[in-house]
A and B are shown apart, each in its own frame.
Chain A
Amino acid sequence: ELQLVESGGAVVQPGGSLRLSCAASGFTFDDYYMHWVRQAPGKGLEWVSLIKWDGVTTDYADSVKGRFTISRDNSKNSLYLQMNSLRTEDTALYFCTKASGDDFDYWGQGTLVTVSS
């Protein structure tokens, strides 16, 4: 069974840092692009970042560019999101998603990041 399990969410002060992880299982991890998508409380979905199977090609939403870094460890079947200089507007549920071509066919249950003083 395919699973994506996020972890690392926490309450952090503005300006702080956090590293999210996503453990993948049930598929050949290094065959697929992976993405992070977030959802602020009571709001819609916002794409955050993507990483190609090789771990070299990445892309980011303008709202996080220069502050967040996506990475992966294919030997550990794991995806990461390093979040620095956090702002209150980064408060959200962060989902790890697997890409199938041009869509997101599997999603984790999310990990909650709260940025508050």
Chain B
Amino acid sequence: DIQMTQSPSSLSASVGDRVTITCRASQSINTYLNWYQQKPGKAPTLLIYAATSLQSGVPSRFSGSGSGTDFTLTISSLQPEDFATYYCQQSASTPYTFGQGTRVEIK
């Protein structure tokens, strides 16, 4: 199975900050990497697919980069509605696996 490791597990940031979350795969997954946002009590929503493509309706302050084993989710200017938990997920092969999540909290 492909293991996905996110860092950090949590972070505190202020509105307007630039935030970067990293995700590392245990083997190459090309660009089969997706990012999701989950707010408390809600279902996850898709932010980025295929490592770099912005899902329709998602604000352009979100961006994704990377290929192979190392990936990054960047929020260019953190907004109040962005405080949530973020998960990466590989779709290169089953079992599809998620990172453990990164909780973004208000500083």
Contact = CB atoms under 8 A, between A and B. Distances in A.
Contacts of B46: 103-105
B87 interface: yes
Contacts of A47: 89, 94-98
Interface residues of A, number: 21
Contact of A103 (B34, B38, B98): B34
Contacts of B98: 44-47
In which size bucket is the chain B interface? 20 to 34
Given A44-B101, A46-B98, A102 B91 contact: yes
A62 interface: yes
Contacts of A61: 95
A107 B87 contact: no
B83 interface: no
B101 A105 contact: no
A59 interface: yes
A80 interface: no
Give the one of B50, B87, B89, B101 with max A CB within 10 A.
Answer: B89
Interface of A: 35, 44-47, 50, 59-62, 95, 100-105, 107-110
